[in-house]
Amino acid sequence: MGFPIQERPSLVQQANPVAYASLDVPPVLIVHGNEDALVPHHQSRLLHAALTQQRQSGQKLETGPWLLHIVEGGGHGERFDEDHQLIDLTFDFLEKYLKGCDKRSQPPEQMNQGSL
């Protein structure tokens, strides 16, 4: 954020995607390298957990899905065009949720290389 997060907690909260986890979040594909030196991949795990928790505690069944894919050995902002599993996952996700099908009726799933 360009400053110590303890200095401006309200601004940090506004920038935190977890703060916006709700039952109205559309499908989200979260991709993060586990060797990201700038943004710890644990933050993506927290976002995925917050979205999944909303689904489990909510009344609406048409939310999600929220997929998490951790790229082993991936850093920050790298192109993951060599990861064929990620390429296939991305195209499948786009095909399923953005190409005119019922985007919100499928249950949440997890895609992950490595352990949660």
Sketch the domain layout of the chain as residue ranges. 21-98
Please state which CATH number belongs to domain 21-98.
3.40.50
Average of per-residue pLDDT values in the chain: 78
Return phi, psi of residue 114, to 5°: 110, -175
Split at pLDDT 50, 70, 90, the class of 57 is: low
DSSP 3-state helix, strand, coil percentages of the chain (rounded to 5)? 35, 10, 55
Q: Given this model, what pLDDT does residue 44 score?
A: 93
Residue 83 has pLDDT above 50, yes or no: yes
Predicted TM-score (pTM) of the model is: 0.69
**First-residue to last-residue Cα distance in the chain:** 26
Interior CA angle at 99 toward 98 and 101, to 5°?
Answer: 95
User: Which residue has tokens 């506004």?
Assistant: 14
Residue 85 has pLDDT above 80, yes or no: yes
- The residue-averaged pLDDT of 83-112 equals 70
Q: Is the dihedral of CA 66, 43, 36, 78 positive or negative?
A: positive
